Amino acid sequence: MNIFVFGTRGFPYIQGGVASHCENLYSIIADEQYRITVFRRKPFLSLVTINNRNISFIDLPSTKLKGFEAFFHSFLCTIVCLIRRPDIVHIHNIGPGIFAPFLKIAGIKVVLTYHSPNYEHKKWSFLAKKFLKFSELISIKFSDKVIFVSKFQKDKFGYNKKFIQINNGVRFPSATNNDDYINTLGLIKKNYILSLGRFVEEKGFDYLIRAFCKIKQQNYRLVIVGDCDHETKYSKQLKELAKANDVVLTGFLKGEKLMELFSHARLFVLPSYHEGLPICLLEAMSFHLPVLVSDIPANKQIALPENRYFITGNEESLIQGLKQQLNCIFEPVNYDLTPYNWDHIAMQTKTVYEQVMK
């Protein structure tokens, strides 16, 4: 079975939840029965390679222009798919899903993974939000199967036999005792708060920094892992705010350095306004970290204790949450992450592929 994938910037070592989702998922699915071809966007490629002979890549031109990047790349991907005619095209996100009708007319099976309602993100203009809303309608209508990573998002659309919920997942790492990297950052074990994500408005890092500066916990540092994909007015202001308040910005990280930061953090905070099902939160939980997260539906789905949530966008609520978590003795937390096992998720996705080919 030949499966072509687009809607992601690609992998490995590319920033973003969708890129991480695809890397983990297809690294398990790809075998002699399922040959995976992933379209990647040239401006975002890294020098890191992946060793799996059942995964191949088609690297196409793209642009970094906000609002045009995904559309232009997905258009090129669709043309290649129409020429190469795979068994299934798996599209990630509703924006690229605008091209699903062309694939369907050509008789190609289409699976859509709905990660998040992108039109809710603050970075988009009024017209862009309208276009994404239209893309949502078209992509869902013309897909043979729609996979939702969040139950609350699936429930919004009501019952449809082609809808299925399959969680995002997480690997189960072993914490590291190595602290070479955190030492270079001037950090002390269990004396820093960790957050992670792209530097865009919907991640809420600006009010996290403001809240942290008001809790007067002199012993603690704030560390934010990530960067912007496109330099914007917001990302520049965020970096200036971080610099002015001695917040550690590491840039985009994966691998051993990120593992060190997770292993030795005191608390993980996710202040997002919008998420699909955040992989970075599941990663923090896999390291048994105490977490403090906004009370958006995607985070509530994980069913943490109520004192682990604060009111989304409410600086005072976040301040109170930070004080409460930092004033208690640190204890590792054991979470039930059984529903987020990538092997199980890969098996569920294979079942979807088998169903659409019947």
Bridge partners of residue 294, in order along the sequence: 310
Rounded CA gap, 320 and 308, in Å?
A: 11
Q: 0.85 cut: is pTM over it?
A: yes
Rounded CA gap, 279 and 164, in Å?
A: 19
pLDDT band at 118; cut points 50, 70, 90: confident
Q: For residue 271, which phi and psi values (nearest 5 degrees)? A: -95, 20
Bridge partners of residue 225, in order along the sequence: 196, 251
- Adjacency order of strands within the sheet including 88-92: 55-60, 35-41, 2-6, 88-92, 109-114, 145-148, 163-165
Task: Please report the pLDDT score of residue 107 as a whole number.
Answer: 96
Rounded CA gap, 174 and 296, in Å?
A: 29
For β-strands 55-60 and 35-41, DSSP reports them as parallel
Check pLDDT > 90 for residue 295: yes
- Type of residue found at 230: H
Summarize pLDDT for 328-349 with one digit per residue, the tens.
Answer: 889 999 999 999 999 999 999 9
Rounded CA gap, 220 and 199, in Å?
A: 22
Rounded CA gap, 5 and 40, in Å?
A: 9
Cβ burial, residue 171 (10 Å; 0-12/13-18/19+): middle
Domains annotated on the chain, with CATH: 2-169+341-356 (3.40.50.2000), 180-338 (3.40.50.2000)
Summarize pLDDT for 100-109 with one digit per residue, the tens.
Answer: 999 999 999 9
pLDDT band at 288; cut points 50, 70, 90: very high
Summarize pLDDT for 40-49 with one digit per residue, the tens.
Answer: 999 888 888 8
- The token duo for 20 is 């991480």
Check pLDDT > 90 for residue 173: no
Average pLDDT over the chain, rounded to an integer: 92
Strand, coil or helix: 164: strand
CA count, 13 A, side-chain hemisphere, 201 = 9
Summarize pLDDT for 183-205 with one digit per residue, the tens.
Answer: 999 999 999 999 999 999 999 99
Q: Write the DSSP symbol of residue 181.
A: H
By the 8 A CB rule, do 17 and 276 touch? yes
